[in-house]
Amino acid sequence: MSIERVNPPGLSPATGFSHAVVATGGRVVFLAGQTALDADGKIVGGTLPEQFARALANLLAALRAAGGTASDLARVTVHVTDVAAYRDHAAELGAIWRESAGRDYPAMAVVGIVRLWDEQALVELDGFAVLDG
C-alpha cells in the first residue's frame, strides 16, 4: 500500500492539509465521527483545543484498533461549531495534530455546523484511512 500526497504548485500552499491524497492497494477503514467523549460517554475539555486533542486521540484510537496508524489517514473532515474560533486557534490545533499524528497530512476540510449531537461538543473529526493488505 502506498499513499502519495499531492500539492500542485498552481494551488494555494497546503498548510496543515494535503490538496489530494492518492492511495493504492490495501484495505479502506472508514472512521466514524469522534468528539471529545471519554470512556464514560461524557464530553471532556471546555476549550476547542482541549476538545480537538481528545477528538483526535479518539479518532486515532479507533484507527489503531483497526490496525492502522496516523500515516494511513487519507481523508479527515473537521466539523466545528465555530469556524472563527478554529481559525483563531489554528496554530495550536496544528501543534496538537503534529504531536499526535505527525507531519503527513491527509486531505482535509473544515466545515462549520450549527451544533453536534452532544450540545457541549465543539468539534468532531471523521475520516478514512488506507491500510496495507
Q: What is this structure's pTM?
A: 0.88
124 pLDDT above the threshold of 80: yes
* Residue range 69-90, pLDDT digits in tens: 999 999 999 999 999 999 999 9
Q: From CA 24, how far away is CA 2, in angstroms rounded?
A: 5
* Residue range 35-46, pLDDT digits in tens: 999 999 999 999
Residue 67 CB contacts under 8 Å (≥ 6 apart), including other chains: 29, 131
pLDDT value for 118: 95
pLDDT value for 1: 66
One-letter-per-residue 3-state SS of 63-115? HHHCCCCHHHEEEEEEEECCHHHHHHCHHHHHHHHHHHHCCCCCEEEEEECCC
Among the listed residues 132, 112, 19, the one whose alpha carbon sits nearest the alpha carbon of residue 69: 132
* Residue range 5-35, pLDDT digits in tens: 888 898 888 888 888 888 777 888 999 999 9
* Residue range 45-70, pLDDT digits in tens: 999 999 999 999 999 999 999 999 99
The neighbour count for residue 112, using CB atoms within 10 Å, is 12
